[in-house]
Structure 1
Amino acid sequence: MENAQKVISELMANPINVGLLGLIVFLVYKIVRGRRPPVGLAPDPPLAKLKKQDFTLEQLREFDGTGAEGRVLLAVNGRVFDVTRGKNFYGPNGPYSVFAGRDASRGLAMFSVSEDVIREEYDDLQDLDSEQMERVREWEQQLSEKYDHVGKLLRPGEQATDYEVEEETTAAPDSTKSD
């Protein structure tokens, strides 16, 4: 008991310690409080899984989180991900909202969330150096572990893949096998 009182008096004797202790208590509160939805607000019901398809830049722009269902997609290194579950980050007013409905590769490669780095036309990323391309691949890997890969970003003139035919071919049972 005496040791605890000694530690408390030592902490309270220095104003820097008091400030740091207050900051720690505040951060712990925010972490714990952040895990629960705010009182009176129910979380949005999860959307149905998006059917796999390919997107042009124009089609991708429709999924910036402002549409009727609020779905958010973004592309990284030619792959399109459904990041709707991370809408607080990627959706409207989120810190990464500039990437919503767009190709985020260049911004992620350059550690920038500025509109200036986002290209409105297809970006082949040819001018990025090897370190920047490695960052793009790392982001692609992280997104693929956390979010659904829903298709690819089409280059100008590229034809979309017919995923229904692809799924039928891979899902069809092999009738030559015996049990």
Structure 2
Amino acid sequence: MSFNLANPVNTALLVYILYTVQRILFPPKSLPKTIPTEFKNGYSWMPKSHPPTLLYKKYTPKTLEPFNGQEGKRILLAISGVVYDVTAGRNFYGPNGMYANFAGRDASRGMAKQSFDEEMLTSVDQPLDKLQDLTPEEIDNMKGWMDHFSSKYIVCGELVENDAI
């Protein structure tokens, strides 16, 4: 098998290989004229603002209630004693979202039963819902929601009884 430059395909491949080797060995040395500040002019890894710092802490139903997304505030919800920061999902959990009634509340029963009804929520003045009457399928459903939330949102605390703090 011989390499014949009379064949135009071989000639084109040789020129391409030589050009590629030249670009690898002698890369261009020109620098951009301006430092990129946004994606239109180039990539900038610097965020526009630092995300808010989250501290892992204990919440009671009363201290969790203000985190309902009203007036642009953070949105937290709890499932089975675990508190998640769902602010990134404001379209779903914020005011006028389809899960808005769970914002700032214990959503365990509603998530287990796949219900958005207000009756699924325990009053913030009452003890935490023990969820003892849930079926095994409903408990599995709630655990599935917890897996979903744990993979998508930040765990920022635990929900405890009103008198525990």
Q: TM-score range by the shorter chain?
A: 0.5 to 0.7
Gaps of 5+ in 2: 1-48
Task: Determine whether 1:109 maps to 2:112.
Answer: yes
Which amino acid is the alignment partner of residue 48 of structure 1? P
- How much has 1:114 moved relative to structure 2? 1.0
Aligned to 2:150: 144
Q: 1:46 to 1:139 in 2, by over 3 A?
A: farther
* Cα root mean square deviation, aligned: 1.8
Q: Is the 2:62–2:162 contact (alpha carbons within 8 Å) kept by the matching residues of 1?
A: no
Deviation track 1:109-149 (CA, whole Å, cap 9, x = no partner) reads 11111112111131111111111111111111110100000
Task: Determine whether 1:60 maps to 2:64.
Answer: yes
CA–CA separation in structure 2 for the residues paired with 1:131 and 1:157: 31
Q: 1:71 to 1:47 in 2, by over 3 A?
A: farther
- How much has 1:47 moved relative to structure 2? 4.3
CA–CA separation in structure 2 for the residues paired with 1:136 and 1:142: 10
- How much has 1:70 moved relative to structure 2? 1.4
CA–CA separation in structure 2 for the residues paired with 1:118 and 1:144: 21
Task: Determine whether 1:72 maps to 2:79.
Answer: no
Kindly report which structure 2 residues correspond to 1:39-50, keeping only aligned pairs within 5 A, or say none. 47-50=51-54
Within the candidate set 80, 84, 96, 1:81 is matched to 84
Q: 1:138 to 1:148 in 2, by over 3 A?
A: same
Secondary structure, in 3 states, of the residue corresponding to 2:157?
Answer: strand
- How much has 1:156 moved relative to structure 2? 4.3
CA–CA separation in structure 1 for the residues paired with 2:74 and 2:51: 8
Task: Determine whether 1:99 maps to 2:102.
Answer: yes
Q: Is the 2:61–2:162 contact (alpha carbons within 8 Å) kept by the matching residues of 1?
A: no
Q: Percent identity?
A: 41
CA–CA separation in structure 2 for the residues paired with 1:114 and 1:79: 21
Q: TM-score normalized by structure 2?
A: 0.65
Q: How many residues align?
A: 115
Gaps of 5+ in 1: 1-44, 160-179
Which amino acid is the alignment partner of residue 114 of structure 1? D
Instruction: Please list every run of at least 4 consecutive aligned residues from structure 1 whose deviation after the TM superposition is greater than 2 angstroms.
Output: 155-159
Q: TM-score normalized by structure 1?
A: 0.60
Secondary structure, in 3 states, of the residue corresponding to 1:54?
Answer: strand
- How much has 1:152 moved relative to structure 2? 0.3
- How much has 1:46 moved relative to structure 2? 7.1
CA–CA separation in structure 1 for the residues paired with 2:155 and 2:108: 15
Which amino acid is the alignment partner of residue 85 of structure 1? A
